[in-house]
Amino acid sequence: MPRTILDGGEDFNGDISRTGSHHQTDDHGYKVRFPPAKGLFTELAEGVKENFFPDDPLREYKDQPRSKKLWFGLVHLFPVLDWARSYTFGMFKGDFIAGLTIASLCIPQDIGYAQLAFLPAHVGLYSSFVPPLIYAAMGTSRDIAIGPAAVLSLLLGTLLQEEINPVKNPHEYSRLAFTATFFAGITQAMLGFFRLGFIIEFLSHAAIVGFMAGAAITIGLQQLKGFLGIAKFTKQSDIISVMESVWGNIQHGCNWQTILIGASFLAFLLTTKYIAKKNKKLFWVSAIAPLISVIVSTFCVFITRADKQGVAIVKDIKQGINLPSFHLIYWSGPYLAKGFRIGVVAGMVGLTEAIAIGRTFAAMKDYQIDGNKEMLALGTMNIVGSMTSCYVGTGSMSRSAVNYMAGCKTAVSNVVMAIVVMLTLLLITPLFKYTPNAILASIIINAVVSLVDYEAAYLIWKVDKMDFMALLGAFFGVVFASVEYGLLIAVAISLGKILLQVTRPRTALLGNLPRTTIYTNVEQYPEASKVPGVMIVRVDSAIYFTNSNYVKERILRWLRDEEEQQQEQKLSKTEFLIVELSRKETMDLLGD
């Protein structure tokens, strides 16, 4: 058995599975400093501080008078108090233009997303009035646009209709939606307050890409009801049930006027999206296209009275701003637990989507968002929203992209958008009476096309096949089962990958690059040559009880393979085994 050298210093003869003894000096005679003895509670407190408060949020409060501490507390809770002091008219011009632009996009989208969640159209508009105002005061992202989102609307609608029929019991259905929104906000706020945001990191990027793509396909299929003018449609969201429903209705005929409206305006919307993608300066073309489509299609239906010929329309949208809904939330009874379950799921998905969007645009503008403050802001806005007739809101990718391209400077763009939505609710909602459902279906299909990120999927395939399997699992789970099962599969695969990486760390054989003192992976660098009589192994993670046995077995297998090759080719035997552990800062008792 070769001599084993650990970490370039300590060595011993014998089986590598033997744990090494602790030494107080290395080969050069330097003393190894052991950590000072600490009490149990001291060690626990330091562990909590290191893991949950790495940014030391209370540092600025030290040695400050009480009035200053109160001000810092208010600024921490309401970041607007900090950046508002340096706000200028030039910044307002950018925010004003951006706010008007995203308002023109959000109004038709909100009506469509409300239908996707099986809620009245005015509830969708309500959800772009109050929540953005709360977020503008408490959020840390300058670019995110708040309101209903496609994936979250689909998820909420799917879960809610499993409990209550939205057609037969619309009032109870709305109550359960507000209850779920309340608990979604509580979940998000608690995660932020207790600084548990790392929980959402368990959903890998690959799983999110697959989940979003599957949700986009599912949302698109759900819109075939309005797009084709189908009266009776399945309540299931899986592709098989939807296609069976579509095929069964097509055999009995579809409304050709509805199909004409949907197809023509979908072609228009996709064309404007293509133009905006090719020329970034023309982003506004794609942004205002949905509102133009609604105006033109509504006018055409009104003057031709196509609704008399079978074209389904929105009909009446309740006029006026948000009504209080605190008394509508289920505070007891069987629907309390159901609302809690749905709210936790919706809150986690909304949180994941919003923070991912916020980080994306923050990286583009080179600033940082505070994840815990974001959770508090999102949670508070959904709690308040549930009491003002809103359903779960989050960051919208399409609107946030338009907000960014329109030149927003701060969250004031959300305030401008909210004011425009408020004026719409007060003044012009009756004008949407003749808006055809087909145009709303076209707008939603156009919006979810961008959720299918095929470029990211291809990159994941090239880089990591295991990640790609996670992507496929989440995608097929959503498409062939349901959004809920797809989400569970995505979480399960992500956790499984984490466990696999912890229990099966990457190991590599190292060789020397010619004419250098660099040792690197021989599989990645074919020019690297092994040192005769020496095997150098690198372990790419910390060694714990969960993976120590695997590392030993992997090294022993390499040694056996090396010995067989040496016997066949009559090469010199391996005399030394070097386990390269210079990157490892932690190791438990069994890993030592």
201: number of Cβ within 10 Å: 12
Nearest CA among 443, 439, 447, 452 for reference residue 479 = 452
- C-alpha span between 200 and 357 (Å, rounded): 14
Q: Which structure tokens are listed for 446?
A: 């156009």
- C-alpha span between 422 and 90 (Å, rounded): 25
Residue type, 30: Y
Task: Please list the alpha-helical segments (H only) found in 117-223.
Answer: 121-126, 130-138, 150-161, 170-193, 205-222
Secondary structure element (H or E) that encloses residue 11, with its range? strand 10-12
Model pLDDT, residue 344: 96
Residues composing the chain: 592
Please name the residue that has the structure tokens 């087909």: 438
Burial of 40 (0-12, 13-18, 19+ CB in 10 A): exposed
- C-alpha span between 108 and 435 (Å, rounded): 10
Model pLDDT, residue 496: 87
- C-alpha span between 76 and 99 (Å, rounded): 25
Q: Which residues pair with 579 in a beta bridge?
A: 6, 537
With a CB cutoff of 8 Å and minimum separation 6, the contacts of 192 are 371, 372, 373, 374, 375, 376, 377, 378, 379
Please name the residue that has the structure tokens 């228009």: 268
Model pLDDT, residue 15: 45
- Asked whether the beta carbons of 122 and 161 are under 8 A apart, the reply is no
- Asked whether the beta carbons of 522 and 569 are under 8 A apart, the reply is no
Q: How far is CA 247 from CA 216, 252, 266, in A?
A: 21, 9, 21
Helix/strand/coil for 473: helix
Model pLDDT, residue 18: 44
If you compute the radius of gyration of the chain from its CA atoms, what whole number of angstroms results? 29
Per-residue pLDDT of 323-370, as tens digits, reads 999 999 999 999 999 999 999 999 999 999 999 899 889 989 999 998
- C-alpha span between 453 and 386 (Å, rounded): 32
Query: How many CA within 13 A on the CB side of residue 27?
Result: 8
Nearest CA among 582, 566, 580 for reference residue 512 = 580
In the chain, which stretches have pLDDT less than 50?
Answer: 8-23
Model pLDDT, residue 328: 97
Listed by start position, the domains of the chain span 3-34+505-580, 81-203+244-438
Q: Which structure tokens are listed for 369?
A: 């968002």
β 3-6/534-539 pair status:
unpaired
Per-residue pLDDT of 4-42, as tens digits, reads 555 544 444 444 444 444 445 555 556 656 667 777 888
- C-alpha span between 475 and 454 (Å, rounded): 12
3-state secondary structure labels for all residues of 358-425: HHHHHHHHCCCCCHHHHHHHHHHHHHHHHCCCCCCCEECHHHHHHHHHCCCCCCHHHHHHHHHHHHHH
- Asked whether the beta carbons of 208 and 490 are under 8 A apart, the reply is yes
Distance of CA 216 to the CA centre of its chain: 14
Residue type, 476: F
Q: Which structure tokens are listed for 525?
A: 């660098």
User: What's this model's pTM, rounded to 2 decimal places?
Assistant: 0.84
Q: How far is CA 385 from CA 332, 447, 462, in A?
A: 20, 24, 43
Q: Which structure tokens are listed for 321?
A: 């701003």
